[in-house]
Amino acid sequence: MNLNNKKQDRLVNTYKNRQDRFENLWKKQKQNLNRVSWLRLFAFIVFVVSVYSGIKSGAVFWYLVAFFLLITFLWMVKKSAKIIEKKDHFKALTDLNQAELLALEGDYSAFEDGKEFLKREHPFLWDLDLFGQQSVFQFINRSFTHRGKNDLASFLSDLLHDGESIRERQAAVQDLSERLEWRQHFQAMAMNLKQDPANEKSLLEWLGNPSPGMVPVTFRILAFTLPLISLTLFFLSLPGWISWQIPVYFMLLPLFLVASFLKRTQRFSLKMTSALKMLKNQCGLMRHIEKESLQAPLLLKIQENLFDQAGSASEKTLKLGKILDAFDSRNNIFVGVILNAFLLWDIHCLLRFEKWKRKNGVQAGIWLETLGYFDAISSLGTMLFNHPDYSFPVVNKKPSWEFVSVGHPLIPAETRVDNDLKIEKDGRILIVTGPNMAGKSTFLRALGVNLVFAMAGAPVCARQMGFFPNRLFTSMRTTDSLQKNESYFYSELKRLQVLF
């Protein structure tokens, strides 16, 4: 069952060509960024010179030039942000393909090992090296979001036992394995997300909080009436119909109201701004899923979570981003004072957050689950793509297990010894014997890991495999403990207690 050299060479060439292509694109974006940066600096210098010339000469021409240069400068700032985003994306793709090349050589250190998911008392995680350094998780992990890694770990620890569910996930893995371009762009976007599990926790708490809004009814009424009065007084003062002092003094009232509400506003800003930005930044991942024409029924079903009659998840998250941008404008003291004096800006932004939450609060949690699932199952798609000699096992209707050329996935194909095994009915007991260093433990672990893969809906390291979903339990690393005053015999009894 060793990998055909031709298939191996094709994989290496694929990743090498992609690495070179994305590295060239990354360098091109770096050059573009340098050019725009110099042009932006030049525009700013000429803008300053134009303003100075206008003040000195009084000529309108220089003020027009300065205005044009200011617009150009702001456009180039926005252009720079887009170039930086592309540059970072191509850099992530370059690094990703470099990591895949190393993985083909047996070096998985670029990917997280999932050691935080290891539980010694679990029925099989500890014995089968599913988590930790050089583990099965690190071997298959291509998840870069916090939720995606959790879901992938759940695939390996909470196994499927329903044949239909297993076949559905197999079809989903097969579908994604054929979408290299889509997978890698998704993974690159996820790599560039700065995620903090605490932000997701804060976000879910806020979304799930059924308490009434942050803004009292009185402030809600004043938020619409006072700006109307302020603007009316301001425009009446322009032609001199009323004294300019009247709107100025009146605008102290909105500022006083905003100041009295400032403590709550700051509390919301400190707790929720980062969490909401985390959701906003995942808009690209949502759009990437929404645009793809998937085939597998399970993927189509999960993709539907991002749509409803009011629009797509990416569109709604984009609206949230606009509210956040408006809220952030208050951080500029001068702009914040003007906006709050005329419009009670802080209050209106909080009201917009509340409105968005009422419309999308329940769905937003489902969007995060959808992103996590796609992130996790993309790892299994990459696993199948990187190992074209792996196969999907057949789910048997009756208790029986057949393994043909089964091997341990962490052992390189050129040195791995594959074996056959057949258990024709339930209730059979097999005793594996042999001298030390003969591979008994490796053989047992190979069976265990491939059964985990099979019940996770993943491909297995075997030419053929048929299995009946069953409860998996291992006991291979039981030890005594002087610290816990436990003998080897007592440790074995405790392990058996887990089984029963």
Digit-coded pLDDT (tens) for 115-136:
999 988 888 998 899 999 999 9
Q: Quick one: pLDDT band at residue 497, thresholds 50, 70, 90?
A: low
Mean pLDDT along residues 338-343: 86
Both structure tokens of 126: 């500890």
Distance from first CA to last CA of the chain, Å, rounded?
37
Mean pLDDT along residues 384-390: 95
Mean pLDDT along residues 271-289: 91
pLDDT at position 3 = 46
Using alpha carbons, select from 111, 185, 106 the residue that is nearest to residue 152.
111
pLDDT at position 219 = 83
Digit-coded pLDDT (tens) for 211-248:
667 888 888 888 888 888 888 888 888 778 888 888 88
Mean pLDDT along residues 324-339: 85
Neighbours of 188 (CB within 10 A): 21
Q: What are the backbone angles phi and psi of residue 465, rounded to the nearest 5°?
A: -155, 135
pLDDT at position 187 = 97
pLDDT at position 58 = 79
Using alpha carbons, select from 306, 311, 328, 317 the residue that is nearest to residue 356.
317
Q: Quick one: pLDDT band at residue 483, thresholds 50, 70, 90?
A: low
pLDDT at position 245 = 86
Q: What is the mean pLDDT of the chain?
A: 89
Please provide the DSSP assignment of 312-346 as one string.
EHHHHHHHHHHHHHHHHGGGSHHHHHHHHHHH-HH
The torsion of the CA quartet 218, 224, 229, 234, rounded to 10 degrees, works out to 130
% of the chain surpassing 70 pLDDT: 94
Q: Quick one: pLDDT band at residue 493, thresholds 50, 70, 90?
A: low
Digit-coded pLDDT (tens) for 394-439:
999 999 999 999 999 999 988 899 999 999 887 788 888 888 777 8
Mean pLDDT along residues 281-292: 95
Q: Quick one: pLDDT band at residue 2, thresholds 50, 70, 90?
A: very low
